[in-house]
Amino acid sequence: MTRPPSLRHEAVEIGRVVAVSLALAMTWSTLAYQPFTIPSASMEPGLIEGDYLVVSKWAYGWSGASLPLAPRPGEGRLLGRHPARGDVVVFRHPLRPDEPWIKRVIGLPGDRVQLRAGQVFVNDLPFARTALGSGRSASDPDRPATRLRETAPEGTRSWITHDFGPGAPGDDTPVMVVPDGQYLVLGDNRDNSLDGRWPPDVGVGFLPAANLIGRAEIVVASWKPGASLWKPWTWFNLQGRWFTPIR
């Protein structure tokens, strides 16, 4: 007759299963894909507060920033690749690496970037802007905005931005020359984004390549403000955004 396993044996087996599961999850989130939530309105209208998105880690290779426990990014990247202009990237803030931020890559190494009356110029070539009518900020619905389609000079990619009118801080900048191994990033909610137009103690400054976590790929779902993992009664407070590709 087979002797039933002891409670100690069962506990050890359960511990092994849990340890292997955690190791696999950690490996997957380090090397392949990792989920993030959008904490602010700086990427409206394409991404809104409460969006739950997936980031591909392998898109640009790996650095210390790829590790989930947020160590210092260090220097260099394993199998590093440049983001393309227009990519939406998640990265560790240059001064506060425990904070993941999300912005759009506008300037690549060596580019000369400038904003003039809110319009972006790269190497003296303008980003075309086409008005799409009025819009509203999900985080500030009482503030009218203009929706603009912004197209990079190469003409191959475009995205939607919000503009709240002339004269906003950051609408006019000096020429910013992007250093080697770094990028200039901007928020799509152009008048409500602390980004590469400001030094890192205020915004982002130039973003080191080593700080990149990955490329934002898809919005899986979106929760209304106030929803939280720790509030089970809010789990179904959804905003109707499902499996939306990020452009």
Of 247 and 124, more confident:
124
> Stretch 149-153: mean pLDDT, rounded?
97
> Stretch 151-180: mean pLDDT, rounded?
94
User: pLDDT, tens digit, for every residue of 32-49?
Assistant: 568 888 888 999 999 998
One of 57, 63, 66, 103 is an active-site residue; which one?
103
* The predicted structure's pLDDT at residue 32: 52
Three-class SS of residue 137? Answer: coil
Pull the structure tokens for residue 70. Answer: 């947020």
Round the average pLDDT of the chain to a whole number and report it: 84
Say if residues 43 and 189 touch (Cβ distance below 8 Å): yes
**38 to 46, 47, 197, 199, 225: CA distances (angstroms):** 11, 7, 21, 22, 11
103 is known as an active-site residue: yes
- Nearest CA to 124 among 153, 155, 87? 153
Which string of DSSP letters, residue by residue, matches 176-219? Answer: EEPPTTEEEEE-SBGGG--STTS-TTTS--SEEGGGEEEEEEEE
- pLDDT of 105 > 60? The answer is yes
Q: Indicate the pLDDT class of residue 140, thresholds 50, 70 and 90.
A: confident
- Percentage of the chain modeled with pLDDT above 70: 83
21 is known as an active-site residue: no
- pTM here is 0.83
Q: Indicate the pLDDT class of residue 8, thresholds 50, 70 and 90.
A: low
Three-class SS of residue 10? Answer: helix
* Run of H or E residues at 102: strand 100-107
Q: Indicate the pLDDT class of residue 25, thresholds 50, 70 and 90.
A: very low
User: pLDDT, tens digit, for every residue of 168-188?
Assistant: 999 999 999 999 999 999 999
